[in-house]
Copies of this chain bind each other. A is one copy, B any other.
Amino acid sequence: MPVPERKSYHHRDLRNALISAAIPVLKEKGVMGLGMRELATLTGVSHGAPYRHFSDKTALLEAIAAQGYRQVSALCNSAREKYRQQPLQALEEAGIGYLRFVVDNPEIANLMFSGVLSPVRRGSELGEAAACAERDLLLIIELGKQAGLYAGFDNNDLTTAFLSMMHGLSMLLAGDLLPGQQRDERSVRVLGRTVAAILLNGMLRRGAGNGER
């Protein structure tokens, strides 16, 4: 009923308005609960209007996911520039930033990573944004690599390990799948640091008999 801000004339900056309107709906009702028509009325246009800006409901979701990837890019780059001479700090800053982004925006993270959106097509806005975020993430790990920080594992594997750990922790936290784990800012930061320290130092007691190099 309370159609918000109904500017009486015919056009505006829809597209962005649609994306902005979609995000809270996404958080409240999830992907399956979000409707194109609802979004149209929320932004005060008719139900046909969104299709001038998004060819598809999927296209809208992709635009939201792309925006998420760009946030991850930004957070990586700011961490890298802030701690250009301290690769370990940069890694921590980016890792915690990633963690917080996912925990604070579980539905968007879900859109980005869950495969609801078809295999990321090269060249699309989504594909570009995802590739870019990936690259910016890797740049941070390169920093430590160049500083000769890491052990004698393959560099790609080290990257995969770090990424897997942070991504996994983020998703588990976001989905509330770690029972009894708080999710306020401080708890998340502490847990992130702790788990990262385990990865950096190793889980095994020194001298335990395992045959890995």
Contact = CB atoms under 8 A, between A and B. Distances in A.
Interface string A43-81: 000000000000000000000000000000000000000
Interface stretch (A5-13, A14-22, A196-204): A196-204
A107 interface: yes
Most buried by B among A195, A203, A212: A203
A30 interface: yes
B150 A161 contact: no
A169 B160 contact: yes
A158 B198 contact: yes
A115 B90 CA distance: 30
A113 B175 contact: yes
A205 interface: yes
Size range of the chain A interface in the assembly: 35 or more
A204 B115 contact: no
A194 interface: yes
Chain A residues touching B, majority SS: helix
Contact of A204 (B149, B172, B203, B205): B149
A110 to B, nearest CB: 5
Nearest to A197: B212
Interface string A151-191: 11110011011111111111110111111010000000001
A134 interface: yes
B206 A151 contact: yes
A91 B186 CA distance: 31
A169 B171 contact: no
B197 A164 contact: no
A107 B167 CA distance: 18
A191 B206 CA distance: 23
A166 B148 CA distance: 26
